[in-house]
Amino acid sequence: MNKINIGLCGLGTVGTGVVKILREHQEELFHQTGCSLEVKKILVNNIEKERELQIAEDVLTTDVTDIVNDDSIDVVIEVMGGLKSAYELVGEALKNGKHVVTANKDMLAEYGSEIFHLASKHNRDIFYEASVAGGIPIIRTLKEGLIADRINQLMGIVNGTTNYILTKMDEEERQFDDVLKEAQELGFAEADPSADIDGLDAARKIALMSTLSFSMPIDLKDVDVKGIRNIELEDLKLAKQLGYTMKLLGFANRHNGRVEVSVEPVLLQSDHPLTSVKNEYNAVYVYSDAVGETMFYGPGAGSLPTASAVVSDLIGVVKNISLGTTGKSYVKPLYEKELQTDEEMFGKYFFRLEVDDIAGTFLEITNIYTNADISFAKISQVPDQSKGTAEIILVTHQASKAKIHSVIQQITDLPAVRNLKSVYRVEEGE
């Protein structure tokens, strides 16, 4: 095959980047694939809209059937976003014998099993590198680069919006609402930032990565999610004093065949490599048996980084077409889903409490931890004489999540505890 025809669905930030790369890198792409790559049709909402790129009018269409029903189109690239409409488009494309490249982690998190089944049934490829961490080739690494290894843990900054917000709060000592507004003005955050700041975007990505890493069908509902909406500047200041930096992390761990998957604000020891990942950048830290510890770092979004991942997937599809090996990229998970219980999940935790500054209060609190067999790594108590209160900071040693939940309930029931202000997981990288 000397020519591959492409149907591009979406001409926004990423779609525009895809067209640019295909135009500007034609010689290199032909050298890699032995084929010319031509965008035959582009699905858009409005043909008349002014665009950054000059595109022939007969290439543009508002009718999805012009792409999914065109027998001459070999590969459909879906970068338009959305859920149901994107799923229906991708499904029809696969049924009609087209290979698919997508950047849509929302669709994959919701309909992934159905899409992968369709691709396998119709002997077609479905590639999705750009759906996680933009230009970082983490999906390909998990599927191919570390395929001979056994991955035990993933820990990653996979949402640029929240990383930008936490970086600015930490380094410039600014409040959450102030930085969020700036992020929206700069285009790092949507007008409705809920998916980012409530952790849902990161949860979709960690679910995809966990499925690949552990060969286990992890769904979005299996991810324990906590966002950064309620984080206070004082939390970050206190964390820094104790030698920690806060990041919103996707976290996945496998122990004795059972898996824990979460997204939450985590206090990282300040010399951990992930603390150097700032602003809108992403990084994924992988722990495996053979290789040990590896970190993958780069821009998590943007027109050209994400488009680069899309075009890399396109090249993968084209090579498979040439070799006659399409439809073999998806491997059904080997293991049945086995999730850890709260009794099996262990971690260190940071507690920040406001209490009445009266005799016996601290003893009451420490007794609760002692009775739960939880010891302390760090303790700080700062009185506020003007209010008659004290702020207590505790960092525990390893304890089960079940015991931590029990302690939280008992502490909040104490009359002397005015407010349990925050509880965060702590990772010190042992």
Domain spans in the chain, listed from the N-terminal domain onward: 3-134+303-323, 138-299, 346-427
Model pLDDT, residue 145:
85
Burial class (CB in 10 A: 0-12, 13-18, 19+), 301: buried
**What is residue 121's predicted lDDT score, i.e. its pLDDT?**
93
Q: Could you read off the pLDDT of 45-71 as tens digits, one per residue?
A: 999 888 888 898 899 999 999 999 999
Q: What is the pLDDT of residues 361-377, one digit of tens each?
A: 999 999 999 999 999 99
What mean pLDDT comes out for the span 334-353?
A: 96
pLDDT for 332 equals 84
What pTM did the predictor assign?
A: 0.90
pLDDT at 304 over 90: no
- Catalytic pick from 40, 98, 168, 205? 205
Of the candidate ranges 127-141, 229-243, 406-420, the one whose mean pLDDT is the lowest: 127-141
List the structure tokens of 215.
Answer: 């060969």
- What are the CA-CA distances from residue 289 to residues 198, 254, 283 (Å)? 33, 12, 20
346-427 has the same fold as 3-134+303-323: no
pLDDT at 190 over 60: yes
CB-based contacts of 328: which residues, under 8 Å, 6+ apart? 320
Could you give the percent of the chain with pLDDT greater than 70?
99
Give the pLDDT score at 76: 98
Percent pLDDT > 90 in the chain is 78
Phi first, then psi: give them for residue 231, nearest 5 degrees: -75, 135
Cα distance between residue 246 and residue 266, in whole Å: 6
CA dihedral 294, 300, 304, 306 (to 10 degrees): 80
> pLDDT tens for residues 98-126?
999 999 999 998 898 899 999 999 999 99
The DSSP symbol for 328 reads -
Check pLDDT > 80 for residue 1: no
**Fold assignment, 346-427:** Alpha-Beta Plaits (3.30.70)
pLDDT at 329 > cutoff 80: no
Q: Is the pLDDT of residue 429 over 70?
A: no
Using the 8-state DSSP alphabet, how is residue 283 labeled? E
What pLDDT, on the 0 to 100 scale, is given for residue 52? 84
For residue 326, what is the DSSP state?
A: T
What is 3-134+303-323's CATH number?
Answer: 3.40.50.720
In single-letter form, the type of residue at position 23 comes to: R
CATH of domain 138-299: 3.30.360.10
- In the predicted structure, residue 2 carries a pLDDT above the cut 90: no
Torsion of CA 4, 5, 9, 10, to 10 degrees: 80
- Are the beta carbons of 43 and 67 closer than 8 angstroms? yes
Q: What is the pLDDT of residues 250-292, one digit of tens each?
A: 999 999 999 999 999 999 999 999 999 999 899 999 999 999 9
Taking residues 179-188, report their average pLDDT.
89
**What are the pLDDT digits (tens) for 24-44?**
999 999 998 889 999 999 999
Mean pLDDT of 153-160: 94
Are the beta carbons of 313 and 179 closer than 8 angstroms? no
Question: Which DSSP symbol is given to 339?
Answer: B
Q: At what angle do helices 105-121 and 200-214 cross, to 10 degrees?
A: 30
Residue-level pLDDT at 144: 87
221 is catalytic: no
Residue 430 predicted with pLDDT over 60: no
